[in-house]
Amino acid sequence: MAKTGSQILVDFLVNKGVEYVFGIPGGAVLPLFDALYDSPIKFILNRHEQGAGHAADGYSRATGKVGVCLVTSGPGATNLTTAVATAFMDSVPLVAITGQVKRPLIGNDAFQEADVMGITRSITKHSYLVKDLKDLPRVLNEAFYIASTGRCGPVVIDLPVDVTMECCDGLLPEEINLPGYKPCYQGNPRQIKLAAEAIDKAQRPVVYAGGGIILSGCHRELLEFAEKARLPVTTTLMGLGGFPETHELSLGMLGMHGTPYANYAVTESDLLIAIGARFDDRVTGKLEEFAPHAKIIHIDIDPTSISKNIQVDIPVVGDARSILQELIPQVHYVERKEWFEKILEWKRKYPLSYDNSGEAPKPQYIVEQICEATRGEAIITTEVGQNQMWAAQFYTYTKPRTFISSGGLGTMGYGFPAALGAQLGCPDKTVIDIAGDGSFQMNIQELATAVHYKLPVKVAILNNGYLGMVRQWQELFYKKRYSQTKLDDNPDFVKVAEAYGARGFLVERKQDVRPTLEKALSIKEPVVIDFRIAGEENVFPMVPAGQAIYKMIGSLA
Amino acid sequence: MKHLISATVENKVGVLARIVGLFSGRGFNIDSLCVGETENPSLSRLTIVVNGDDAILEQVRKQLGKVIDVIKVTDMTGQPYVERDLMLVKINAPPGKRGEILEIVDIFRGKIVDAGLKDVIVELSGTEDKLEAMLKLLQPYGIKEVARTGQIAMLRGTK
């Protein structure tokens, strides 16, 4: 039976088990949307392509499945690029299908034409322009395979409208043909043995675990490994939830806004075991003074991450899970009494803390209350800036895929649409976007999506009337010259929520925080809570940019 | 330092752009770049000559390997290899000087591939040094145009 390109694509997605596709229709994708009309795939109509991309990304991060989005050519595709770049930086498996003008018009400045291959080249793991219908099944198959294997990432498929309208008889080849792509999963046994020996010998080891723990699904192995060899574990922002923060071996998050004890432990360690982390500048601070006494083991699936920023002594390339499974039987319990005493002392002396005085609720207090009210069981998404750091510091993460945030690219406006995707992927979970008043307004239009699909996502706006993190830097490093960071004219968020058909609450006093949260959690609809927090609260501790990570400022009294 | 990088890639749309982007995105100027089909028509071979910091180029080499359509990458720097560059030079050649020019071209085993009333075109292949040396000797006659392919290279022996 003859099938159109559109039908081939839709059938492929159905066979692949794709449940949701996020996006917005447009001229160049009309045939695709016509084919979707009769399909069992649930299409989520977002209100901006960036929102669609982030929602697909949030869905993927919450479930581990490939996120799929579909937008039109030109502006549809360019609007999507921020979401694609976000997924690329955080290794999120995403397949983004963009419409393209018909083949004879490509390169002619046609209406709604953009060179999507060119624009997305450096922000995708791979990209395709399908110029021949007979390539389509293979391209689709390869795209899902590439996105979800090795170091995951986004793949863009640019699909000219005339290809989707063309008909084809009979079966087309679907086989994957990628001689240049052979992701390596098994670690080299010799390197693993070297790593095990170094771990047994270490007096002051620290595990530095990144987002790779979550992507590889090896949180159980990490726990077993840390307990067996008795190793303290610090996670990156992306690694939050990869190791239970309630565990005695947990050091919490390290880096610019990490815990003092994590940063001190790394600085004094004699062996740093990096797993699925990439030595990002927000983690390392001044490179020359990062873990200066430590030998470094680096377990990562991406060979380009090894020795990129820091010279590694024992690299092990492969999947973190399979490597940990090999490593666990080879390591032994070592008590390391002195080391743990020292860590305990740091924990006692320098806990994360804040001043909870005053009438206005403190953002840290709000995040703690969210954690208590949800018993630490919610999926937390964040925007970017102070809200993100408070959400990372003061919520206690114990399970993977419960902290969803734009770590690498730092995309404001990410958290809310990502929360919608996460909620669709995990309908039984409580999903809360911890937001700032600045960030939330960057994709506030997605309230319409939340209301339309009855997604009971909660948005907790930590409203300080500022672009808070930038203001904090201006306070600390630019003599309080608050250049363009005051948001004087914020809308009434309660009314905005209500105008969209969602619920809205205003909280101005500390004692109203918990009751309002409880009320919001009991409502099975989208709720926006506008928490009016003190305008000039800062995120501490903080390592000034380019400084050594043990030189933190703030709350170290 | 100068690096000579060779890559076997799939002969597909967009591969070259991705590869070049890895260099330009880091602010490296490519000194020369040569692409052509290999013994297998579905594969192309690229030879890139680029100057830059060793550590950063090592990173670029790894990134090249990560490009889906790149099958193999070799940095030939420091290994024994054979290199060739092909050049066409148009030289000012008034009748009285043609004999001299011909002599120089002969020394380098070059060929005159075109002759006009006022100029000749010389073809020469060889290592970069050899090409430079001939150009230097031809300079006084007046070089009108130069076109070069850039280096291609292959490791010696079997591996």
pLDDT in tens, A213-239: 999 999 999 999 999 999 999 999 999
Residues of B in contact with A300 (CB under 8 A): none
* Distances from the Cα of A305 to the Cα of A147, A282, A391, angstroms: 18, 15, 27
Domains A189-349 and A363-532 share a fold: yes
pLDDT band at A537 (very low <50, low <70, confident <90, very high): very high
Phi, psi of A316 (to 5 degrees): -130, 105
Residue A180 to residue B25, Cβ atoms within 8 A = no
**pLDDT computed for residue B5 by the predictor:** 92
Per the CB < 8 Å rule, is B71 touching A180?
yes
Residue located via tokens 């706006």: A461
| Angle ∠(B57,B63,B64) on CA atoms, nearest 5 | 90
- Strands A431-436, A458-463: pairing is parallel
Mean model confidence pLDDT for chain B = 92
Query: What percent helix, strand, coil does chain B show, rounded to 5?
Result: 30, 40, 25
Tell me which H or E stretch contains A407: none
State the pLDDT at residue A557.
Answer: 44
Residue B34 β-bridge partners: B47
How does pLDDT run across A450-482, given as a tens digit for each residue?
999 999 999 999 999 999 999 999 999 999 999
Other residues' Cβ atoms within 10 Å of the Cβ of residue B133: 16
Mean pLDDT of B96-124: 95
For the domain covering A3-168, report its CATH number: 3.40.50.970
Which pLDDT score, from 0 to 100, does residue B57 have?
84
- For B16-43, what is the mean pLDDT? 90
Given a contact cutoff of 8 angstroms between Cβ atoms, the answer to whether A63 and A427 are in contact is no
- Chain A nearest C-alpha distance from B157 (Å): 24
pLDDT at B1: 84
pLDDT tens string A296-316: 999 999 999 998 899 999 999
B21·A122 Cβ contact <8 A: yes
- pLDDT value of position B53: 85
Kindly tell me if the per-residue pLDDT of A367 is higher than 80. Answer: yes
**Confidence (pLDDT) at B159:** 57
Res A1 pLDDT > 80 = no
- CB neighbours of residue A503 within 10 Å: 18
Give the model confidence (pLDDT) of B45-70 as tens digits: 999 999 888 888 888 888 899 999 99
The answer to whether A308 faces chain B, any CB pair under 8 Å, is yes
| pLDDT at residue A370, as a whole number | 98
- Identify the DSSP state of A402: S
Under an 8 A CB cutoff, do B17 and A121 touch? yes
Residue with tokens 């363009």: A484
Interface contact A178, partner B, CB < 8 A = yes
Q: How far is B58 from chain A (nearest CA, A)?
A: 9
As a whole number of angstroms, the distance between CA A67 and CA A96 comes to: 8
ipTM of the complex: 0.86
Interface check A125 vs B, CB under 8 A: yes
Helix, coil or strand: residue A528: strand
Whether residue A121 and residue B18 make contact (CB cut-off 8 A), yes or no, is yes
pLDDT of residue A555: 61
Chain-chain contact of B68 with A180 (C-beta, under 8 angstroms): yes
Q: In which band, very low, low, confident or very high, does the pLDDT at B92 lie, cut at 50, 70 and 90? A: very high
3-state secondary structure of B57: helix
Chain B: residues touching A (Cβ < 8 Å): 9-10, 13-14, 17-18, 21, 25, 59, 62-63, 65-71
* Peptide bond before residue B41 is cis, with ω within 30 degrees of 0: no
A397 has pLDDT over 80: yes
Q: How confident is the model at residue A174 (pLDDT cuts 50, 70, 90)?
A: confident
C-beta atoms of B62 and A303 within 8 A: yes
A129 interaction partners in chain B (CB closer than 8 Å): 13-14
d(CA A377, CA A241): 11
Burial A62-90 (b: 16+ CB within 10 A, else e): bbbbbbbbbbbbbebbbbbbbbbbbbbbb
Quote the strand ranges of A138-294, DSSP E. Answer: 154-160, 167-168, 205-209, 233-235, 250-253, 271-275
Task: Quote the CA–CA distance of A272 and A8 in Å, as a whole number.
Answer: 49
What is the domain partition of chain A in residue ranges? 3-168, 189-349, 363-532
The model's pLDDT over A82-132, given as tens digits with 9 standing for 90+, comes to: 999 999 999 999 999 999 999 999 999 999 999 999 999 999 999 999 999
**How many CB pairs (< 8 A) connect A and B?**
37
A255-291 burial, b at 16+ Cβ within 10 Å, e below that, comes to bbbbbbbbbbbbbbbbbbbbbbbbbbebbbbbeeebb
Residue type, A243: F
Q: Please, what is the Cα angle at A185 between A179 and A188, to 5 degrees?
A: 110
Q: What is the DSSP string of A269-292?
A: -SEEEEES----HHHHBSGGGSST
Average pLDDT of the residues of chain A: 96
According to the model, what pLDDT value does residue A556 have? 59
Residue A78 is inside which H or E element, if any?
Answer: helix A75-89
| Pairing state between β A250-253 and B143-148 | unpaired
Tell me which of B12, B56, B68, B70 to substitute to probe the interface with A (most A C-beta atoms closer than 10 Å): B68
Q: Is B157 left (phi over 0), alpha (psi -120 to 50) or beta?
A: left
Domains and CATH numbers, chain B: 2-75 (3.30.70.260), 82-155 (3.30.70.1150)
CA angle A268, A272, A273 (to 5 degrees): 155
Structure confidence by residue, pLDDT tens digits, A484-535: 999 999 999 999 999 999 999 999 999 999 999 999 999 999 999 999 999 9
Min Cα–Cα distance to chain B from A176, Å: 12
A189-349 has which fold? Rossmann fold (3.40.50)
**pLDDT at A6 exceeding the cut of 90:** yes
From the options 3.50.50.60, 3.90.10.10, 3.40.50.970, 2.40.50.140, give the CATH code of A363-532.
3.40.50.970
pLDDT of amino acid B44 = 95
Nearest by CB to residue B69, choosing from A118, A122, A180, is A180
Strand partners, A252: A234
How many angstroms separate the CA atoms of A197 and B153, rounded?
A: 42
Structure tokens given for A410 = 């730092």
Nearest CA distance, A273 vs chain B (angstrom): 21
Please compute the mean of the pLDDT values over residues B110-128 and round it to a whole number.
Answer: 95
Residue B2 has a pLDDT of 87
pLDDT band at B13; cut points 50, 70, 90: confident
